[in-house]
Structure 1
């Protein structure tokens, strides 16, 4: 029996979303739709349909070379059955730490977290707030909270409960088989706008997946 999963993308290595070289798994579909989200391409529902089993088969070859796994989106907890099945398979196949990003407040996830007890080592919760300051490590806005849920999570990620360092203000850049360029990480509020202006000054036009519904706050 297979478990359906709407998937945006997979990538290894990711070095900007947690310690070490990590396997990145991005779920597809999000109803929260935070203004200014840099991943508005992951909002649409029922795209990128695959199965948990196919995802596990793909990441299995990366596990021996990885230091951890980061799951984001999209909103992973809007596919709770697929998320739990994936987490159980990951836990069975490896001893890597698992960091999950969610736009929901942790108080809204208590039922899911009970069902997934011991499967998520660290959780970053709460929606991105476009008007918030952005000074904390691993977080897009300072209202977001880091929750250390296991001893492994505490050992691997407790050191990220601090201000972001200058050397962490960076992005991983990848090119897929179609030639599309995409980035992983947590850019500053103005970073993508600066990139667009730089490219324009050199005669290039880029279109990003950042939500523009509240663009005036950044331009």
Structure 2
């Protein structure tokens, strides 16, 4: 494995699982759910980086992390790279690996069977803007949480209705002053943020080509 299409790598992320986690977002998504707030991660031709650089960053960040959360984009659109990345983490850490995927469980189960114990918990299913959003750690209520290992049992705490703590967002800035968010906002939160910034005299612009790479 020489390369991987990666949107971003960040530590710490506190809004996508318990504790302070390493967050890794794959680049490229074939599902492209209508209304997705991460459309900047759809393009499979962007964000190509050397696999070794990603592995080195994970190894460096692992000692201070409570786990690894992987999202995207769509992680399972790069199944070989996904297996390699998770194997690197597993070689250094027993802390939980949690994945978000837009595929249903039946679609990813062959991969999971081929890589037993590599994923501790996974949230499956496409984002559906036409459905309600009342459950913790979900963009829409059709998404299902699957606990796969004993380490993944810590995610049972998210089998509940969402509350205000679930709507927190991690805010990150790059060296050029661009901001991006990690977390699962409530419906309309980002539109309200744009209006609030506008009312304060700021101009908020969004882009489908956000900066890539690692923030620490």
TM-score by length of 1: 0.92
1:179 aligns with 2:177: yes
* Partner residue in 1 for 2:159: 161
Shift of 1:58: 0.8
Structure-2 separation of matches of 1:165 and 1:174? 23
Structure-2 separation of matches of 1:196 and 1:55? 33
- Say whether the 8 Å CA contact 2:58–2:89 is kept in structure 1: no
Structure-1 separation of matches of 2:115 and 2:159? 23
Shift of 1:52: 2.9
- Say whether the 8 Å CA contact 1:38–1:209 is kept in structure 2: no
Structure-2 separation of matches of 1:82 and 1:3? 9
Any stretches of 5+ residues in structure 2 without a counterpart? 209-216
Instruction: Indicate how the Cα distance of structure 1 residues 112 and 3 shifts in structure 2: closer, same or farther if over 3 A, else same.
Output: farther
**SS at 2:142 equivalent:** coil
Shift of 1:101: 0.4
Shift of 1:209: 5.1
**SS at 2:108 equivalent:** helix
- Say whether the 8 Å CA contact 1:3–1:82 is kept in structure 2: no
1:5 aligns with 2:4: yes
TM-superposition CA deviations, 1:113-154 (whole Å, max 9, x none): 112210000000000000111111111110000000111101
Structure-2 separation of matches of 1:47 and 1:127? 22
* Partner residue in 2 for 1:215: none
Shift of 1:109: 0.9
* Partner residue in 2 for 1:149: 148
**SS at 1:61 equivalent:** helix
* Partner residue in 2 for 1:217: none
Structure-1 separation of matches of 2:60 and 2:144? 32
Structure-2 separation of matches of 1:111 and 1:161? 25
TM-superposition CA deviations, 1:3-23 (whole Å, max 9, x none): 321000000000000000000
TM-superposition CA deviations, 1:79-106 (whole Å, max 9, x none): 0000001111110011110000000111
* Partner residue in 1 for 2:19: 20
Any stretches of 5+ residues in structure 1 without a counterpart? 211-219
Structure-2 separation of matches of 1:75 and 1:184? 16
Shift of 1:189: 1.0
* Partner residue in 2 for 1:43: 42
Shift of 1:60: 1.5
**SS at 1:146 equivalent:** strand
Structure-1 separation of matches of 2:50 and 2:111? 20
